[in-house]
Amino acid sequence: MIYTYKGINGTFTKAHEYIKHLVLDVWCKPNGNFSLNKLHPEFIPIVKGVRNKKILAKQIQEIYRIFRQISVSDRSGFRKLRKGFINNNSIEELCKGSISPLVYSEIKRISPELEKRLKRFFKDFYSEVPKTSAFKKACGEIGVFYNDFLDHNESEVCPFCGIADIMTSRLSKRDAFDHYLPKDIYPFNSINPNNLAPICKTCNSSYKLAKSPIQDKSGKKRKAFYPFAIKAVKLEINAQFTCKDINKLKKSEIVLKITNKAYQEQVCTWMDLFGIEERYVDKFCSKEANWWRIQMLDELRNSKLQKHKLLAQKLKLFESNSHVDKNFLKIPYFIACSKLGLL
């Protein structure tokens, strides 16, 4: 990642607390018949306030019934569900690879009906319930939370690619909150604020899609960057051009390497998730990058400083504001151009 987000308390924080209580203190403690009074006191008005009782009240009751059955018939599976909730909501630890997630396919082996009902419940809770007046009254509006979140963070560029803007609070529309761990693969965390991050349309809809950052296509565990890490990992981005005509630079004439020896597995995961190599190489071939070079040549011609000193000065400036105006890509671009004598 180019930088990491700073989380805030708000809409999703409160909603996740209700879900945590529901799973750990209601479904995982199925004593006696179900009653709404078992729910978190602040969650009860939301459940009662949803007009379509099939979305919340009935779903919660039916899932409670299944948990109660499993608690008697499959104690091992029952314990696995409880541990799965805890693990699936420990997003940072999952990204580090220090714990293992619970996936829907494992729940299906415990109870196909439970897998089906949980998937429907958590999908509705994220996409439908926040639209209700009862939810908005208790937790606030997602649009307001989105604006507060972006205002709290210093950059207006997507941290997952660094080259596309995030729609700001000044606009009437907003970008999506990405489920970093896909909600169709991992149960229990669809409303966890540590699993939800604004993301640009290109990253979300064209590259990441439903790919998992913590498991590859075969299901093997892999390490990934955590979007809310206190400090972003510093990336070494190096480019080498083998072109004869920089104005007609081709993808095949670029060798791109992105490294961090201590976090190389996370780097590889990130590049796979968001198509980073392809997109950065494409940017180096773009008219925009050629304009960077034209501007730099103009500054070099008109400066009283020696060429190498001005270039060093500019690279230092780019480094100090690395995720602004694609500066983190300008650094390897100009170094590659300089090595070919194109500046």
Q: What is the pLDDT of residue 155?
A: 84
Residue in 211, 328, 181, 185 with CA at minimum distance from that of residue 275: 211
Question: What's the pLDDT tens digit per position in 23-43?
Answer: 999 999 999 999 999 999 999
Mean pLDDT of all residues in 153-159: 91
Q: How confident is the model at residue 304 (pLDDT cuts 50, 70, 90)?
A: confident
Mean pLDDT of all residues in 56-75: 95
Q: How confident is the model at residue 54 (pLDDT cuts 50, 70, 90)?
A: confident
335 vs 343: CA distance, rounded Å: 9
Q: What is the pLDDT of residue 343?
A: 84
Question: What's the pLDDT tens digit per position in 266-275?
Answer: 999 999 999 9
Q: What is the pLDDT of residue 39?
A: 97
Residue labelled with tokens 């945590």: 20
Q: How confident is the model at residue 109 (pLDDT cuts 50, 70, 90)?
A: very high
Q: What is the pLDDT of residue 305?
A: 86
| Maximum Cα–Cα distance across the chain | 83
Mean pLDDT of all residues in 127-134: 92
Most confident range, picked from 53-57, 149-153, 255-259: 255-259
Question: What's the pLDDT tens digit per position in 273-293?
Answer: 999 999 999 999 999 999 999
Q: Say how many Å lie between the first and final Cα of the chain, rounded.
A: 29
CA–CA–CA angle 185, 191, 197 (5° rounding):
85
CB 221: neighbour CB atoms within 10 A?
14
Over pLDDT 70: what percentage of the chain?
A: 100
Q: How confident is the model at residue 11 (pLDDT cuts 50, 70, 90)?
A: confident
Q: What is the pLDDT of residue 176?
A: 87
Q: What is the pLDDT of residue 88?
A: 98
Mean pLDDT of all residues in 314-318: 96
Question: What's the pLDDT tens digit per position in 245-263?
Answer: 898 999 999 999 999 999 9
Q: Are 160 and 142 in contact (CB under 8 A)?
A: no
Does residue 130 surpass a pLDDT of 80? Answer: yes
Q: What is the pLDDT of residue 122?
A: 96
Domain ranges of the chain: 11-208, 236-339
Mean pLDDT of all residues in 326-331: 98
**Arithmetic mean of pLDDT over the chain:** 95
Question: What's the pLDDT tens digit per position in 191-222?
Answer: 999 999 999 999 999 999 999 999 999 989 99
Mean pLDDT of all residues in 175-201: 95
31 vs 278: CA distance, rounded Å: 54
What is the pTM (predicted TM-score) of this model?
0.93
3-state secondary structure of 237: strand
Residues 6 or more apart from 336 whose CB is under 8 A from it? 239, 240, 241, 284
